Amino acid sequence: MKRIYDFGRRPAKRNYTVSDLKALKGSGKKLSMSNPKDATELRACIEAEIDLLVVWDSQLEECREIAPHHFMGIGSTWKQFGTPNEILSHAIDLMGKGGDMYYTLRSYDVLEMLAKEGIPVQSHIGLIPTFSHWCGGLRAWGRTAEEAMEIYRTLKRMENVGVFAVEVECIAQEVLEAVNDKTSIVTFSLGSGMAGDAIMSFVSDICGEDSEEETPPKHAHAFGNLGRLHQQMYQERVAAMKAFNDEVKAKRFPYAETNVTMHPVEKDKFLESLDKQ
């Protein structure tokens, strides 16, 4: 655990610092990374000793209370802000609230602007769902030599504008193996092989919450089967609601034991008073 001041100038501790992550290059050590969407999932990540977390901006303050020492990335969606200055203000605000890294899909100019302000900037390469229109849909990247070289050139351009880390999604594993040590950028591999400095997977995929999908994403390996439990819970919920509805229609519910009754003799007194009205 490293003693630091966070970007809000508060004394803090972190399991990993920016410097630690940059030092992963060539170390052979692999870190785990996931994206808890609520406090329950966050506590599960902590108990399971997941190394790195990424959360939505609206979650940050609650997540920082629950996980004060975890490296935690935050950011914005492509459409969330219109201007570079809005993005910069958002990044400074979230970093000041305890963020350790800021994610954005916006232009190289925006990436460079954030980096010049001392913000550890994360971007995205390979399959970027937001930009899937440009490549004809959701698909893998880097399966041809030409596309593999384009990935490398993009990484180097990101490196040149100061990007600290990238999510590497669904690129051919051979490409990441070849380029990972040719860049200072910290790589988070999502479906891109073992060469990433950290290995990322979504909580829902890890836990098998979508295990009933006919064609789950190739990178989605379920280590559990919450989908089955969710289906059981749904069926139990429907059965309970149907039983309630049936009892109401049959005029059997509310049951006597669920009702409130008057104190002894109070009913007679009440009815007598009512009759006098």
Picking from 229, 204, 226, the residue whose alpha carbon sits closest to that of residue 34 is: 204
Please state, rounded to an integer, the average pLDDT across all residues of the chain. 94
**What is the per-residue pLDDT for 277?**
86
Over residues 88-117, mean pLDDT: 97
Specify the amino acid at residue 199. I
Residue 210 has pLDDT above 80, yes or no: no
**What is the per-residue pLDDT for 183?**
96
Residue 102 has pLDDT above 80, yes or no: yes
Over residues 12-23, mean pLDDT: 97
d(CA 257, CA 253): 10
Over residues 162-166, mean pLDDT: 98
Least confident window among 94-98, 104-108, 128-132, 260-264: 128-132
Hey, what long-range contacts does 45-54 have (CB within 8 A, 24 or more apart)? 45/203, 46/70, 51/15, 51/16, 51/198, 52/16, 52/188, 52/198, 54/103, 54/200
Over residues 33-60, mean pLDDT: 96
| The residue count for the chain | 277
Picking from 56, 221, 189, the residue whose alpha carbon sits closest to that of residue 124 is: 189
Residue 214 has pLDDT above 70, yes or no: no
**What is the per-residue pLDDT for 25?**
87
Secondary structure (DSSP) of 21-72: HHTTTTT---EEEE---SHHHHHHHHHTT-SEEE--GGGHHHHHHH-TTSEE
Over residues 2-21, mean pLDDT: 96
Query: What residues pair up with 141 in beta bridges, in sequence order?
Result: 171
Picking from 219, 159, 196, the residue whose alpha carbon sits closest to that of residue 21 is: 196
> What pTM value is reported for the model?
0.87
Residue 195 has pLDDT above 60, yes or no: yes
Least confident window among 38-42, 83-87, 107-111, 127-131: 127-131
Ranges in the chain annotated CATH 3.20.20.60: 2-224
d(CA 98, CA 73): 9
Please state which CATH number belongs to domain 2-224: 3.20.20.60
